[in-house]
Amino acid sequence: MDVIRQKLTAFILDPANHDLLEILKGARNGLVYGAKVRFPHALVMTFLFRSGTFQEKLTQTLQATKTHAKNLAAFVTIYKTAMFLLRRLSSSTRKERSSDSFFAGLLGGYLVFGRGDQGTVNQQIVIYVFARVVLALAKLSVEKGVIKDPRGRVKGNSWGVFAAVSWGLVMWLFRWEAGSLQGSLRSSMEYLYIDSGRWDSLRNFLIHNT
């Protein structure tokens, strides 16, 4: 057993095998991280806001966890594979170009999240990423001088404006175009803003909604 372990250790530490093993470990990390992030979120949201038996809710939780973990692992695998191939094809130096990560992400995003079923899990992942991209680009636009901000007013107030506009728009949509909102967000907002206006006894005023 020790001989096998030594050979495996030598194999994974060999620089010649690093690129391919990096893809394998990326897939592993995608599975683990996807499960760790999705399971507690899906568990809480499903048992709080979904109807059905305990078994049905547990099945929905595990299915959402499986989808998140599988898709994240698939994306990491495609991205790292594409980066590996782009480096090999770029030139004799085989160095990464600044555009490689964009095109690798473009490919992975389309193949994993952009095709077929646009389920709740995929929508949440893409929307989360999109929100972070918008914030990062806004920050870069100031830091790189695209937006002139000599007194720091844009930088100092940008988050407040972003938060205010986001909440103003989502509340307007919920009030007048609720059907356009994503299902879990709509359910959460119904609990907060609709159910809180309904009661006909002390019990469903303080303890349980009608």
**3-class DSSP state for residue 119?**
coil
Query: So what's the pLDDT on residue 92?
Result: 66
Query: So what's the pLDDT on residue 143?
Result: 84
Dig out the tokens for 188 from the structure.
């959460």
Domain boundaries, the chain: 1-115
Provide DSSP, 124-191: HHHHHHHHHHHHHHHHHHHHTTSS--TTSHHHHHHHHHHHHHHHHHHHHHHHH-GGGS-HHHHHHHII
CA dist., res. 129 & res. 132, Å (int)? 5
What is the chain's alpha carbon radius of gyration, rounded to the nearest angstrom? 23
Query: Which residues neighbour 167 within 8 Å (Cβ) at sequence distance 6 or greater?
Result: none
- State the maximum Cα–Cα separation within the chain, in Å, rounded to a whole number: 77
Residue whose C-alpha is closest to residue 129's, from 144, 109, 146, 111: 109
Query: So what's the pLDDT on residue 193?
Result: 92
Residue whose C-alpha is closest to residue 85's, from 115, 107, 60: 107
The whole-model pTM stands at 0.81
Spans of the chain, pLDDT less than 50: none
